Amino acid sequence: MRFLKKIEEKVARFKEVERLLQDPSVTSEPSRVKDLGKEFRGLEKINNLYNEYLKVHAEIEEVRHLLNDKTQSADLISMASLEAESLAVREKKAIGDIEALLMQEDPLLIKNVIMEIRAGTGGLEAGLFAGDLLRMYSRFSAKCGFKIEVLSLSPNDAGGLKEVIASVTGAGAYGKFKYESGTHRVQRVPATEASGRIHTSAVTVAILPEAEEVDVEIKPEDLRIDVFRSGGPGGQSVNTTDSAVRITHIPSGLVVSCQDEKSQLKNKQKGMKILRARLFEKITNERNAEIAKNRKEQVGSGDRSEKIRTYNFPDRRVTDHRVGFTSHNLEAVLEGDLEGFVNALFEDELARS
């Protein structure tokens, strides 16, 4: 199981706390009993979920042994196959429940996400890959049961994207997406390349925990809001009203623009959502640099050398350079199959915590 060492440490601590609560030298100290009781209740949930996982895992091993026994009848093998499918569902749920419980230790992990994707080195080809990443994250969101909504989008002349900002909504979204922050490098022959040469381009991704109004106080007098007419690709007018909104947070200097909606109010609401997320990240960074890196450190400069992941099309290979995890099924990854990367990074983080 993923993060097995971390779970075993918590289960061992649960047993130790259970023993201490029965120790007369401890029970004579009310304050210590109170603290240990609180810790016991928190660890008990993990212990119970882990025991459920072990039970299911043991049943899976029994069924697997039965399926490999060539002396069994066809009917028994068929029944065992159905049981194996049911147990696989139970095992996945048990692991998911444990993961969710571990995530609760960091309140940021259960938040929604503001995702910013920007084309870096590579010109039009980088913009095309930015569009590919948006599609990949849309598919991954659907697999996780999250909802993704584009808040702001700026296309390039080749049908790609200069920049896109989107929200990802769903319990635990930040826990799933936070590892995507950084520079993503792509190696492939672009559609714009006539000679067939392989190009290397880069796209930056920033993942911010979405902030609620209770997380960040924004005073009306600290905002300057400008409205202007929306413009489309090539400078064409999208509509004839001043519906686009530019919001400047004067104390921090942060600026957010939104023009995708025809309604000025909707653009303002989207802009405020992005602004709150950026301010929340800024405040969080100042309080504790270990919780999150500032936005500039997350995405780097967009140069090809500052990469967290490489998508190599000729070899159909995707490699995450932080943990050395590689998938040899690039097509599946671009269709949103990111669980392997998330799990490897999550496990690595737990092992180092």
The CATH number of whichever domain residue 132 belongs to comes to 3.30.70.1660
pLDDT, position 103: 65
Give the domain extent around 79. Answer: 4-103
- SS3 assignment for 184-211: EEEEECCCCCCCCCCEEEEEEEEEEECC
pLDDT, position 214: 60
Judge whether 292 lies within some domain. no
- The rounded distance, in Å, linking the Cα atoms of 151 and 281 is 18
What percent of the chain clears pLDDT 90, i.e. is strictly above it? 41
- Are 167 and 118 contained in the same domain? yes
Provide the pLDDT confidence category of residue 311 given band limits of 50, 70 and 90.
very high
Judge whether 302 lies within some domain. yes
**Could you tell me which of 257, 256, 233 has the C-alpha nearest to residue 243?**
257
Compute the average pLDDT of residues 98-111: 74
What is the dihedral angle through the alpha carbons of 120, 255, 158, 187, rounded to the nearest 10 degrees?
A: 20
**Structural domain ending residue among the three candidates 57, 85, 103:** 103
**Structural domain ending residue among the three candidates 103, 128, 144:** 103
- Are 248 and 271 contained in the same domain? yes
Judge whether 314 lies within some domain. yes
pLDDT, position 291: 41
**Structural domain ending residue among the three candidates 103, 123, 150:** 103
pLDDT tens readout for residues 74-97? 888 888 889 989 998 898 888 878
Provide the pLDDT confidence category of residue 353 given band limits of 50, 70 and 90.
low
- Are 177 and 195 contained in the same domain? yes
- Are 304 and 175 contained in the same domain? yes
Compute the average pLDDT of residues 318-337: 96
pLDDT tens readout for residues 273-305? 898 888 888 877 675 554 444 445 555 555 555
- Are 84 and 114 contained in the same domain? no
- Are 55 and 177 contained in the same domain? no
pLDDT, position 297: 53
Where residue 253 falls (left for φ over 0; alpha for ψ -120 to 50; beta otherwise) is: left
Q: Which amino acid is at 290?
A: E
Provide the pLDDT confidence category of residue 6 given band limits of 50, 70 and 90.
confident
- The rounded distance, in Å, linking the Cα atoms of 161 and 72 is 58
Pick the more confident residue, 17 or 283.
17
- Are 157 and 115 contained in the same domain? yes
Alpha helical stretches, state H, the chain: 4-20, 24-27, 30-67, 74-103, 123-144, 173-177, 264-287, 295-299, 330-334, 339-352
pLDDT tens readout for residues 18-65? 999 999 998 888 888 888 988 888 889 889 999 999 999 999 999 988
Number of domains in the chain: 3
Pick the more confident residue, 68 or 134.
134
Q: Is the pLDDT of residue 2 over 60?
A: no
Average pLDDT over the chain, rounded to an integer:
85
Judge whether 64 lies within some domain. yes
Q: Is the pLDDT of residue 233 over 70?
A: no
- Are 84 and 203 contained in the same domain? no
- Are 140 and 283 contained in the same domain? no
pLDDT, position 349: 80
- Are 265 and 118 contained in the same domain? no
pLDDT tens readout for residues 152-210? 899 988 888 999 999 999 988 998 999 999 999 999 998 767 677 899 999 999 999 88
- Are 61 and 88 contained in the same domain? yes
Which CATH number goes with the domain that contains 248? 3.30.160.20
Among 95-109, 212-226, 250-264, 273-287, name the one with the lowest average pLDDT: 95-109
pLDDT, position 289: 56
- Are 187 and 312 contained in the same domain? yes
pLDDT, position 3: 65
